[in-house]
Every structure is written in C-alpha cells, then in structure tokens.
Amino acid sequence: MRALLVDRSAPAGLRLGNAPDPTPEPHQALVRVAATSFNYGEVGHLLQEADEGTVLGWDAAGVVERAAADGSGPAAGTPVVTLAPDGAWAELRAVDTDLIGTVPGGADLGAISTVPVAGASALRALHRLGPLLGRRVLITGATGGVGRYAVQLARQGGAYVVATTGDPGARGDALRALGAHEVVGTPAAVTEPVHGVLDMVGGKQLVEAYEMLAGGGTLVAVGHAAGEPEHFPHGTLYGDDGRHDRSIASFHLLGCTALAPDLTWLAGRIAAGELDPGISWRGSWQQAAEAADALLGRRLHGKAVLDLD
C-alpha cells in the first residue's frame, strides 16, 4: 500500500512511499482510508521522535474493507471514522473496533476525518466540566483544531463561551461565528470568573486561566501549544480567598475508553451540518509537507485535511 513515511531527508520529514499492508488482529477491522487530518501533536511532536519509515497518524475516515474477525464493529462497506495511535497516513489501516465510529452514507469523508482527535478531545474535555447550561466557560487556543470544536460544542451545551486567540482582531469574527460570546487575547483579559476552562495553550495562559476560575470550577489541561512550563505564584493554590475547591484535571484522549459512540455522534452532527469541521487547509496527501509547515508555523488555524488521491 502507499503511505506517508517518516523520512527526515524529505520536506517536513514526510515522503509518500510504500509500506506493507497491515494485518488486523481479530478485534480490528481493516479500513480503506479516504482522508486523514493532521493534528498538532503528531506533526509537532511524534514526527520528530519517530523512527525512519514509520507510518504515523491518528485520524482517518474511510470505508470498512474487511470486518473484524471476532464479529465486533461495522460490516464491510460501512463508511467509518477511525482513531488509533498510528497508521492513519496510509491507504489501509487496522483499527480496534471500539475506536471506530460509523458515518452517515454520502457524508464528506474529508470533513469527517477532522473528528477523532480534535472533536472527541473537545467533547470529552467538556464532559469533564459537567453540565454547561448557564455556565461561563473559557476556551484557550480556540482557533485551533480542538478549540473550534470546543467553542461550538460548549455553545450548543448552553454555556456562555469566552474564547482566546493571539489575534482577536484578525480571528475574533470567525470565533464569534462559531458561537463565542466574547473573544479576548489572553485569559487575564477575562472580566468575570468562569466555571470551567479548556486550556489548549498551557504555560502562562494556563496559570492566568486558573486565576479566572470560580470556586468549585475546573480547568482541563488539554494541550500545551505554547511549549512553556507553568509557574504558579506562591499562594495561588492555597484556596483561602473564598474560591476554594478549584481543580486542575489532566487529559489524554488515547487514555479514554468507549470512544466509538462519541465518534459516531460527532460524525452525524457534521453530516447534518450542525457542526463546522473547521477545515482551513485541504489538498492531496502529496502536499503533506505544505500542510505540516503551515500548522507548525501557526499559519493554519483549524484543521488540515489530506485526501488520499
């Protein structure tokens, strides 16, 4: 099969070449991939660390080529959305059936390929905050893949949504169109306490966002796009200023269980036009280096979708 292989001598460290077809385990379906989407974590981190020749990739949408031998999961011919620790950047991938969502017939599989990491992370992290109806929620790094889904889902869940971006002037309108009530440049500019935070940036923004939490509130540390450590001023965590019982929760999507229903639900919302997949770059997987460079250079706000043509 053809696949994007790690090759540090190639642009962005990726080369379209050939790899052996995967051999599914009994609980895995074999999926023919139509489209994949890039995530910051795999392009920014995994690609730098992986062995030469590896086939990476978390997100892929396609059609089941061969159902799982143990009888679990969708039948051959079913359009699906899939998540796994690797193997998405290839024509065929073997995926555990509990990480496969089904997709309505006729849906754009490129749009659906944005769901697994970005959409499912936003959904699970928002669940960690509890009920959102009538509550104020702050989303940092809101223009990114996870952030755009988080803004929409928090708004649909009934929250008052405050979003951050490094450039509210240029990107504020797009965030308001997705459902943000307010757009600010940094959590320190938030004017009233919030019940919950989804933080995609880390570092100084995480520390500032924690300061904005109301008593009993929760900050979910989803991402670390800034690549900075977090330094809390002495006394920040005493909890003796009337805002006690605030929490910071760590988060890792691949540690979550029973994701298939979330993937199916998110794919259905996109197919119905009720969620915007946030595609800001789309092209052939032969142009993978262009998409990876834009993502790492902070020039790509939203999802990059690669069609396997």
Ligand X SMILES: NC(=O)c1ccc[n+]([C@@H]2O[C@H](COP(=O)([O-])OP(=O)(O)OC[C@H]3O[C@@H](n4cnc5c(N)ncnc54)[C@H](OP(=O)(O)O)[C@@H]3O)[C@@H](O)[C@H]2O)c1
Q: Does 224 bind ligand X (CB under 6 A)?
A: yes
Q: How many CB atoms lie within 10 A of CB 200?
A: 28
Which is nearer to ligand X, 58 or 285 (by Cβ)?
58
Please compute, for residue 91, the number of CA atoms within 13 A of its CA located in the half-sphere on the CB side.
11
Q: Pairing state of beta strands 79-83 and 59-66?
A: antiparallel
Does 175 participate in binding ligand X (rule CB under 6 A)? no
Part of the chain binding ligand X (CB under 6 A), chosen from 10-18, 94-102, 154-162, 165-173: 165-173
Per-residue burial over 296-306, b if 16 or more Cβ lie within 10 Å, else e, is: eeeebbbbbbb
Compare residues 93 and 224 and give the one whose CB is closer to ligand X: 224
Q: Which residue number, 166 or 283, has a Cβ lying nearer to ligand X?
A: 166
The number of residues that bind ligand X (CB under 6 A) is 29
Beta bridge partners of 247: 218
Query: Would you say 132 or 300 has its CB closer to ligand X?
Result: 300
DSSP three-state, residue 43: helix
Nearer to ligand X, 5 or 253 (CB): 253
Burial classification of residue 203, based on how many CB atoms lie within 10 Å of its CB (0-12 exposed, 13-18 middle, 19 or more buried): middle
Q: How many residues in the chain?
A: 309
Residue from 109, 201, 213, 260 binding ligand X (CB under 6 A): 201
Which residue from 115, 139, 162, 200 is in contact with ligand X, where contact means CB under 6 A? Answer: 200
Cβ contact 144:172 at 8 Å: no
Q: Which one of the spans 16-24, 36-44, 73-81, 190-198 is the region binding ligand X (CB under 6 A)?
A: 36-44
Q: Is the dihedral of CA 299, 269, 255, 200 positive or negative?
A: positive
Q: For ligand X, which stretch binds (CB under 6 A), given 12-20, 24-32, 232-240, 246-254?
A: 246-254
Minimal CA–CA distance to 194: which of 218, 175, 178, 170? 218
DSSP at 60: E
Nearer to ligand X, 87 or 144 (CB): 144
Site membership for ligand X, residue 114 (CB under 6 A) = no
The answer to the question of residue 166 lying near ligand X (CB under 6 A) is yes
Q: What residue type is assigned to position 14 of the chain?
A: L
Stretch of residues binding ligand X (CB under 6 A), selected from 74-82, 88-96, 127-135, 137-145: 137-145
**Least distance to ligand X, CB of residue 270, Å:** 17
Residue nearer to ligand X on the CB measure, 57 or 223: 223
Region from 86-94, 139-147, 151-159, 262-270 binding ligand X, contact rule CB under 6 A:
139-147
Residues 308, 35: contact at Cβ < 8 Å?
yes
Helix or strand holding residue 307 (H, E): strand 303-307
Choices 59-67, 76-84, 221-229, 279-287 (CB under 6 A): range interacting with ligand X: 221-229
Q: Max Cα separation, the chain?
A: 60
For tokens 């077809």, the residue is 21
When asked if residue 172 is in the footprint of ligand X (CB under 6 A), the reply is no
Interface residues toward ligand X, by CB under 6 A: 39-41, 117-118, 121, 141, 143-147, 165-167, 171, 200-201, 222-226, 251-253, 295, 298, 301
